Each structure stands twice: as structure tokens, then as C-alpha cells.
Amino acid sequence: MEKSQDALVLLRQIIRATDLHDKHLSRMTGLTMPQLMTMQTLRINGPLTIGMLAKEMNLAQATVTSILDRLERKKLVRRERSNTDKRKVLACPTEEGLELLKSAPATLQDTFIRQFEDMPDWEQSMIVAALEHVSHILGAHHLDAAPMLDIGALDRTTETRPPEYLRDTGDHHKN
């Protein structure tokens, strides 16, 4: 197999691993990856304004607002006025939201970050340089992206289960 084919197989494995993990996470928690990351960010930082939350997550405020709307409908987050500045509205996790986080599995990002940061600096730099090249090759270097491994839209409106024919069965055929 040519090296280009090896590279494409590796890219596809990364995409599939991300997709499968997202589906597992959704089955376990009922949340999308961005929703779970939002909940985790609020747990770590405490109540935040939408602007502060968006900055912390590297997302647009409109995207964060959409994510919060869905979490609020699920009663996992509530919005409340700041005690110190009534003009500010804070996003706060509810008790139900905090309970859900206790049973949530580790995210693929968390696993990646932990293992990546354990690597020597030179190895981290090599990986980043290689990924930058791949991004340029695919014409993706100009796209805005959040630091999360999720293949779907960040503010998708439904959490759907894929049809049977799209589910990973572990039975993979090589062409």
C-alpha cells in the first residue's frame, strides 16, 4: 500500500473513532459532545456569562447560546442574574446536571490531551506540524474550529441514533 493510502486509512480511523465515541457518549449521557463540554466547563469554572463561557470554550457566543438553550430544556443548566451586576446573566449547572457529569465517561479530548501532554515537546511539535500539513493539504486550514473532537455541528438540534446500517458492528471489510 502506498503511503498516501496509509495516511488516508489513518485519517479515516481517527474520524471513525471520533464518531463512535460521540455515539457512545450520547447513549451514556443523552448529550452531544459540545453539550457535555459545556457542562464540564461550567463545573470547572462555576457560573459564567455566555461571553465568558464562549471564550473559555473557543466557540462563538451564538453557538454557546444554542447549546445552553438545549441544556436548559433538559433542566441541566439554568440562567440567573448575577448578584453583583444585575445586567449580567450567568449560566449555572443544576444539581441534575452535576449528577449527570458524575456518571459521564471521559471524553476523547480528555484522553488525547492527557496522553499528548505526556509526550516530549519535540514529539508534540512533530505531530502539530504534521497535522498542520494535513490541514493545508485538505484545504481546511482556513476553517474555524473549536478544540474538541466532534464531527457533527456544534449546535445540532437533535441527538439521533444512526440507522442500523450505519452503526459500527466490528465487521469491517477491506477493498
Q: What is the DSSP letter of 88?
A: -
Give per-residue pLDDT as tens, 111-170: 899 999 999 999 999 999 999 999 999 888 887 766 666 555 544 443 344 444 334 444
In this prediction, residue 85 has a pLDDT band, given cuts at 50, 70 and 90, of confident
Question: Cα separation of 160 and 67, whole Å?
Answer: 16
Q: Which backbone phi and psi does 3 adopt, to 5 degrees?
A: -60, -35
pLDDT at position 160? 40
Residue 78 neighbours by CB distance under 10 Å: 16
pLDDT at position 114? 93
pLDDT at position 109? 83
Q: What is the DSSP letter of 102?
A: H
**Looking at beta carbons, which pairs linking 151-154 to residues 24 or more positions away fall under 8 Å?**
151/15, 151/18, 151/19, 151/22, 152/22, 152/32, 152/33, 154/34, 154/59, 154/63, 154/67
